[in-house]
Amino acid sequence: MLSSLSLDDIDRIEVDKEGNQIRYHLSKSLTKEGMTALFSFTLIDESKLPSKLDSVVSIATKAPIRRSQLGDVIRVIEGDELETVGVVDLEGALRMLGNVSIDDAGGLVGIRMRGFAVGNTKVLYNGVDLKDSIGPNGAPSFKFIPIDDIDRIEVVSGASAIANGSGASAGVINIITKKESNDGYIASKFSNNQYYTSLKTNFDVKGSQLYLLGTHGYNNTQSSRQNTSEKDLYSNNSITVGFDSVQRLGHLDGFLSIINGRQELDHFGGADDTDNVTDANRQLAGIRYVFKLSKNMDSVIRWEASYLNRGNYDPDGDPTKDTNNTYKGSHYSLDFYNHIGLGQDTHLLLGWEFREESGESSGIWGGSSVDFPGKIQRTTSLYSQLLWQHTWVSTQLGSRVDYYKANTKGHVAPTYHVSLFRSIPGIDVNVKGTYKTGFKLPTIYQKYSSTGNENLKAEESETREVSFSKEFQTIELVTTFFDTSLTNKIDQINWETPYSNFEKSTYSGTEYVVQLREWGMFDFLRLDYTALNAVDKNEEALKVPDYKLAFSSGISHDKWTYGFFLIGEGEREDSSSTMAAYSYIDVSIHYDFTDKTSLFTKLHNVFDESYETAAGYNEAGRTLFFGLKKHF
């Protein structure tokens, strides 16, 4: 307490200091007709607040903390950035990251962070794993996520196994939706044979906040493969119900999403196929209860679940060539963890997690059976993480042990995290040095399908990185050098051979980030560039660019907002060809018609560049979008 002043025994002003924040607490009591009411409020000295570049994140610790207080390299894409540049889906949003490459093979989307193969980047939706448990490599499925409801996207680069477990060797992406209780809206974007609509409404029931969100997406603009002319539809519908309730003993929140999608396909050999489709039905659920066991301990119990039913149909009339099959996959987890305060500058995370995955398939594909009975894979984990802030050097230490079974034998997968970081006096450059390990369990498909191998070992990774960052008021400059080695990589020699563990793969590179927030007319500016060198099995890694550039900016003036988005990627090797380097530009304009209604237009791929992110598959040419968003 710095000072205290009483005025006429009824008004009181208190000033206190905590860290670099100064708070002014004001209170006043009023008495009328024998009844006394006390009014109080708090003002925070905004000049003392942390920079808006120093976002609060929870992706690496499962609790809110400033980026600057972590040894991890973390990026945050805010919802206003997504809205300004006019991205229409999550695939477009993730292209804004310089160290993430997206390839779209006719609706089958792959994410490669820092050059890692698909399946090594974990994608979460409000903390719930979007992994396809019955997919070949466990890649996430996220096409249903409505872009208009995203509050922010948190991204941690490099292994993040301590808080996130298996499948996070390349990094973790957490898509966090908006929580405002009074922000109902309808939003729609459309172009020729392509439109996306979201509708959200909120309710207050006895102090608990409830929301209902419905979405519809429709894209029938292009063929899946370059040498076909038939248009291949992708559509999805979803409905989500969520709640947020403050209880007497704690805080309870959760959601349930039901998603249905359809993807039209072409023949594997490249010919048009009018009745080749994939239908998918998915349910996602998560519930979390936060409570205090003691004054210095916040405890959380979290349950999450995912169920996916995917069918492939291509009735050619010839039993030797027909496709009619069903894949069913699910996973659920129970997580209990505690955040313990050991003083103002020291925090400890202790947790236990149980996870179960299951999968099965039945039917035929191209006349061949894909039957395998239901299989289950269980994992039990213990983890801990210590954060210690100190003027000389700060520390982030973590460890995790996962116990799992493979071919009836029990195995242990230990992982570690060590970060040291501090600000260099005189020049105020923040330096972070980190060593961390990760792992990825073989998927059910890799173990039990017709080309499966029950003796597969878990992939193991080691990441070493050094990061330098400097802030100049509203501008931040970051350079990160990283080097990762991966052992026991799971792959096939070709699609007919069994899965095997291969020799060491390496991924190294340099990441450069320049970002600006709220400077003059600029709402934001972000420049992300990554130079990559990825080697698999002593050869250049397939589908990995040697560089990736992403630039986005937003400018506001009066009722107008202008967005600019540039993507550039270097050459990528495929199994049979080299995909050329490419770049494209998007521009967008928003107009605030009223304080609750905005109009939107966007020109995607301004110069109508022809390019491919997956060999032999189309990407959209020049496309003009229009849109409207109305809050209520």
pLDDT in tens, 403-449: 987 656 788 999 999 999 999 999 999 999 999 999 999 999 999 88
Cα separation values, 49 from 61, 345, 428, 477, Å: 22, 18, 17, 20
CA-CA-CA-CA torsion sign (493, 497, 503, 505) = positive
Mean pLDDT is lowest, of 30-39, 272-281, 313-322, 487-496, for 30-39
Q: What is the DSSP string of 113-172?
A: ETTPPTTSEEEEETTEE-B-TTSSS--B--TT--GGGEEEEEEEES--HHHH-TT-SSEE
Please name every residue paired with 215 in a beta bridge, in sequence order, or none if there are none: 198, 238
CA-CA-CA-CA torsion sign (537, 540, 544, 550) = positive
Q: Residue 326: exposed, middle, or buried by beta-carbon count in 10 A (0-12, 13-18, 19+)?
A: middle
pLDDT at 46 over 70: no
pLDDT at 584 over 90: yes
User: What pLDDT score was predicted for residue 143?
Assistant: 75
Q: Are residues 117 and 137 in contact, defined by beta-carbon separation less than 8 angstroms? A: yes
User: CA 129, 418, 140 angle in degrees (round to 5)?
Assistant: 15
Q: What region does 448 belong to: left with phi over 0, alpha with psi -120 to 50, or beta? A: alpha
Q: Dmax of the chain from CA atoms? A: 94
Which structural domains are found in the chain, ordered by start?
Answer: 3-48 (no CATH), 56-631 (2.40.170.20)
pLDDT in tens, 602-622: 999 999 999 988 888 878 889
Name the E strands within 146-249.
Answer: 150-157, 171-177, 185-191, 194-205, 208-219, 234-246
Instruction: With cut-offs at 50, 70 and 90, classify the pLDDT of residue 1.
Output: very low
Structure tokens at 94: 């993730």
pLDDT at 240 over 90: yes
The shares of helix, strand and coil residues in the chain, as percent rounded to the nearest 5, are 5, 60, 35
CA-CA-CA-CA torsion sign (99, 105, 106, 107) = negative
Q: What is the Cα–Cα distance from 15 to 4, expressed in whole angstroms?
A: 7
User: What pLDDT score was predicted for residue 231?
Assistant: 80
pLDDT in tens, 130-184: 998 888 888 888 877 778 889 999 999 999 999 999 999 999 999 998 876 678 9
pLDDT at 16 over 50: no
pLDDT in tens, 336-350: 999 999 988 899 999
Q: Are residues 351 and 335 in contact, defined by beta-carbon separation less than 8 angstroms? A: yes
pLDDT in tens, 172-228: 999 998 876 678 999 999 998 899 999 999 988 888 899 999 999 998 877 767 777
Q: What is the Cα–Cα distance from 125 to 291, expressed in whole angstroms?
A: 22
Cβ atoms < 10 Å from Cβ of 460: 19
